[in-house]
C-alpha cells in the first residue's frame, strides 16, 4: 500500500508542475460599443468617418483599463442613430450625439452626459443668420422667412432652441441644404429659389468670412450660446469604466497621440459639459 501510494504521488507531481509553468492567458477585456451621430454632417457615415472613430476606439482602449471599445456606427440622420442605440444585440455603451438628440431621447434611452465635444476648441455653439450683401444685416427675427440650414432633421431643436419665434410672430421656414456654402452662393448670385438667409455655426461663419466672394454677405441675428455635441453613456452600460473614460476624454490634449486624434475629430478637448447651460436649454426644449 505504501509503495503504491508513493508511485501515485510521484506521477502527480509533474502534472502540478506543468500547470504552474503554463503561461497564464490574459483576461479578456470587456467590450463597449461606441456610436456617433452628427446632425446635418454629410460626411458623418461609416464610409467617410469610420476610420477616425476606430482610431478613437483604439485610443480609448489604451486609456481605460480592461476595456475594449468597438465602433457600432457613424450616422447623420436621427432615425438611423436611434436605431443604433436601440439595438439590443449590439449594445451601445457610449455615444457622441447632438444636444437635440440627447434632449429628445434622454429618458427613453437612459442617457447620462459625460462630456462635451469642444468642436474647434470653442466653448459652446452659437448660430448666426447670414443674408444678402445689399440688404440690412438680419438683426431682427425674420418672420416667415425661408432659411437654409443643414439641421432640418431636428426641427424641434431649431424651433424651440436655436431660433424660436417670438410670441405673435410666424416661425421661419427651414430649407435643407447639405452645404451652407452652396446656399450662400445662391444668395450672392440671387439664384432662383435662393433662401433669404443661411443659418451657420461659428466655424462655418469663420470660413465664409475668409472666402473671397462670400465675405461680403452680412451676418446678424445670433442664437444664445448653446451646448455642442455631447458624449453620453447609454443605460449605465459603462459601469466601472465610466470614470476612467471621462478622465481619458478630459485629458485628450495632453499627449501627442491624443492631440493628433483631437485634430482628426475636430474636437481637441472633451471637458465636462456646462450643466447650467444644458439645464437652461432643456427647459426651453421641453
The answer to whether 198 and 183 are in contact (CB under 8 A) is yes
Mean pLDDT of 124-144: 93
Which residues have a Cβ under 8 Å from the Cβ of 32 and sit 6 or more positions away?
67, 68, 69, 70, 93, 94, 237, 238, 241
Please name every residue paired with 125 in a beta bridge, in sequence order, or none if there are none. 226
Q: Kindly report, residue by residue over 209-236, the tens digit of the pLDDT.
A: 999 999 999 999 999 999 999 999 999 9
Residue-wise DSSP of 230-258:
EEEEETTTTGGGHHHHHHHHHTGGGSHHH
Mean pLDDT of 11-34: 59
Q: Is 54 in a helix, a strand, or coil?
A: helix
Q: Where are the alpha helices (DSSP H) in the chain?
A: 2-21, 46-63, 78-86, 99-105, 155-156, 180-188, 202-209, 242-250, 256-265, 275-285
How far is the C-alpha of 74 from the C-alpha of 76, rounded, in Å?
7
More reliable by pLDDT, 3 or 222: 222
Q: Kindly report, residue by residue over 172-214, the tens digit of the pLDDT.
A: 999 999 999 999 999 999 999 999 999 999 999 999 999 999 9
Residue 132 sits at the vertex; the CA angle it makes with 131 and 136, to the nearest 5 degrees, is 80
Neighbours of 231 (CB within 10 A): 24
Predicted pLDDT of residue 28 = 67
Predicted pLDDT of residue 2 = 43
Domains of the chain, with CATH numbers? 30-122+227-279 (3.40.190.10), 128-222 (3.40.190.10)
Predicted pLDDT of residue 9 = 34
Residue 15 has pLDDT above 60, yes or no: no
Amino acid at each position: 500500500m505504501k509503495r503504491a501510494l508513493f508511485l501515485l504521488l510521484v506521477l502527480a507531481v509533474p502534472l502540478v508542475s506543468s500547470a504552474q509553468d503554463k503561461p497564464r492567458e490574459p483576461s479578456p477585456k470587456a467590450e463597449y460599443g461606441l456610436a456617433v451621430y452628427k446632425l446635418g454632417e454629410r460626411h458623418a457615415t461609416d464610409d467617410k468617418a469610420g476610420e477616425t472613430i476606430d482610431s478613437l476606439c483604439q485610443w480609448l482602449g489604451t486609456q481605460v483599463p480592461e476595456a475594449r471599445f468597438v465602433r457600432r456606427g457613424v450616422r447623420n440622420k436621427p432615425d438611423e442613430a436611434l436605431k443604433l442605440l436601440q439595438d439590443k444585440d449590439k449594445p451601445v455603451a457610449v455615444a457622441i450625439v447632438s444636444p437635440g438628440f440627447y434632449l429628445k431621447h434622454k429618458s427613453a434611452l437612459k442617457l447620462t452626459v459625460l462630456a462635451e465635444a469642444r468642436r474647434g476648441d470653442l466653448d459652446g455653439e452659437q448660430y448666426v443668420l447670414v443674408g444678402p450683401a445689399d440688404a440690412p444685416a438680419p438683426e431682427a427675427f425674420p418672420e416667415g422667412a425661408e432659411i437654409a440650414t443643414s439641421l432640418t432633421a431636428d426641427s424641434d431643436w431649431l424651433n424651440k432652441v436655436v431660433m424660436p419665434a417670438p410670441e405673435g410672430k410666424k416661425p421661419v421656414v427651414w430649407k435643407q441644404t447639405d452645404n451652407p456654402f452652396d446656399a450662400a452662393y445662391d444668395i450672392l448670385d440671387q439664384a432662383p429659389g435662393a433662401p433669404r438667409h443661411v443659418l451657420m455655426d461659428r466655424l462655418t461663419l469663420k470660413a465664409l468670412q475668409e472666402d473671397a466672394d462670400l465675405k461680403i454677405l452680412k451676418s446678424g441675428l445670433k442664437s444664445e450660446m448653446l451646448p455642442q455635441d455631447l458624449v453620453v453613456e447609454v443605460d449605465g452600460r459603462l459601469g466601472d469604466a465610466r470614470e476612467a473614460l471621462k478622465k481619458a476624454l478630459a485629458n485628450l490634449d495632453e499627449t501627442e497621440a491624443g492631440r493628433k486624434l483631437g485634430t482628426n475629430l475636430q474636437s481637441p478637448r472633451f471637458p465636462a459639459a456646462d450643466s447650467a447651460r444644458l439645464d437652461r436649454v432643456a427647459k426651453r426644449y421641453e
